[in-house]
Amino acid sequence: MSNSTFSEIAQALREHASFIIMSHVRPDGDAIGSQLALGHALEEMGKTVYYYNEDGLPENLAFLPHSERITQPQGEVLDVDVAIALDCANKPRLGDNALKAASQAKLWINMDHHKSNPGYGDLNYIDSGSPATGQILYDFITAEGLPLSEVTRDAIYVAVSTDTGSFQYSGTTVATYEMAADLVRRGLNVGEINAKTYDSHPYRRVELTRRLLNTLVMAEDGRIADWQLVYATKEELQLKPEDSEGLIDMIRAIEGVEVAVFFEELKDGTIRVSMRSKNPSIDVCEVAKLFGGGGHTLAAGIRAEGTLDGIRDAVLAELRKRVDAC
Ligand code: 5GP
Ligand code: MN
Ligand code: MN
C-alpha cells in the first residue's frame, strides 16, 4: 500500500458532492474530533456531509460544537458519492451498520495513523508517525487551503489532545506543539476546552475507579499492572462505554510499570483488552495482532471471544515473555 498525496485526496473531495464520514466503534476524542474537523471543512466547501458512528456520540464529547450531527446508523443505506473512514485501523472496526450505510459510495478515502492499517481505501493516507488522525487532518487542511472553521479548529484540538494524553506521550512532536500554537492563535480557548475535555467527569467514573483499583494486580516485579471490569459492575454502576476512557493511564503512570492492561467484559460476551507500554521495545501492537486486534507500538487493543480469565491468562503470558526478554 502506498499513500495518495494530499493533493490527490483534496482533488477527490472537490470533485464530489456528498460524503459519509465514519470512524471506529466505541469512538474516542480522535475519532469524533476527526469526523467533525474534516466534515465541517467539507460543509464549508458547500458539500453534503453525513457523520455516522456505529455507536453514536459519547456523552463526554457532546460539548464539541456540531457534534449533534453525529448519527448512529439504524440499517439505512445512504445515497452518497464518497465514504471517508478516519482513525479506524481496519474496515470491520467501522461497524456493520455504518458499513451498510456507506455501501453505495463509489469511492473510499481512508486517513489514519494506526500502523496496523492495511490501507483499505481507494485513496489512503496512513501516517503512523503522526500522534493523532486529527494532526494529519490539520496538516491536510492547511496544506490544501481547505476551510478551517471554529468547529474544525476545536475538533482538531480535542482529537490531538486526547490521543496524546494532553500533549504528553512520546509521539507528540514539534509539529504537534506548532499546530496547537496555531489553533490558539486562531482563537481557541485553551482553558475552556480543556475543562470541558478533562474536568467534567460524571461521579460514576470515580466509583468505577474505586472498583478497578480493587482488582489491580502487579506482576513481574511490578513491571506489568492489570485491572479488570466485569459486566455485572457495569450494570450496577450504570456505566457508559466512555466512562473508562483514559483510566488506564493511572496504572500506566505507576513507577516501574512498563505495561498496563485493562480487561473488560462487554455486553455481547466478548472481552475488550486495552494495553499501554512505556517501553518501545515492548510492542503491544504485536501482542494485539496475535489476538486479532491492532493499534500502535505503545497503545493497542483487542476484542476477542472467550472468558475474561482465559483471555487474561493468554494475553498476560504473551506480555510476560516480552517483558522478560528485555
Ligand atoms: P484503546 O485502548 O484506547 O481502546 O485503544 C488503543 C489503540 O488501539 C487505539 O489506537 C485503538 O484504535 C486501537 N485498538 C483498540 N482496540 C482495537 C481493536 O479491537 N482492534 C484494532 N485493530 N485496534 C484496536
Ligand atoms: Mn481512536
Ligand atoms: Mn487516533
Q: Sheet with 123-126: list strands edge to edge.
A: 70-71, 48-52, 18-22, 82-86, 107-112, 123-126
Residues at CB less than 6 angstroms from ligand 1? 24, 89-90, 93, 114, 116, 274, 293-296, 299-303
Q: Which helix (H) or strand (E) holds 248?
A: helix 248-252
Is 0.90 topped by the overall pTM? yes
Distances from the Cα of 190 to the Cα of 139, 158, 268, 276, angstroms? 20, 10, 39, 27
- For residue 28, the ligand 1 atom closest to its alpha carbon is 3
Fold classification of 203-324 (topology level): Diaminopimelate Epimerase; Chain A, domain 1 (3.10.310)
Whether the pLDDT of residue 140 is over 90: the answer is yes
Read off the pLDDT of residues 264-284 as tens digits, 9 standing for 90 and up: 999 998 999 999 999 999 999
In the chain, where are the structural domains located?
6-198, 203-324
Kindly state the average pLDDT of the residues 5-13. 98
Whether the pLDDT of residue 1 is over 80: the answer is no
Nearest alpha carbon to residue 73 among 91, 95, 89 = 95
Q: What is the CA radius of gyration of the chain?
A: 19
- In terms of CATH architecture, what is 6-198? Alpha-Beta Complex (3.90)
Whose alpha carbon is nearest atom 20 of ligand 1? Answer: 293
For this complex, say whether ipTM is above 0.95: yes
Nearest alpha carbon to residue 28 among 141, 146, 113 = 113
Read off the pLDDT of residues 87-109 as tens digits, 9 standing for 90 and up: 999 999 999 999 999 999 999 99
Could you write out the DSSP letters of every residue in 133-173? HHHHHHHHHHHTT----HHHHHHHHHHHHHHTTTTTSTT--
- For residue 285, the ligand 1 atom closest to its alpha carbon is 8
Tell me if 6-198 shares its fold with 203-324.
no
Read off the pLDDT of residues 158-213 as tens digits, 9 standing for 90 and up: 999 999 999 999 899 999 999 999 999 999 999 999 999 999 999 999 999 999 99
Mean pLDDT over each residue of the chain, to the nearest integer: 97
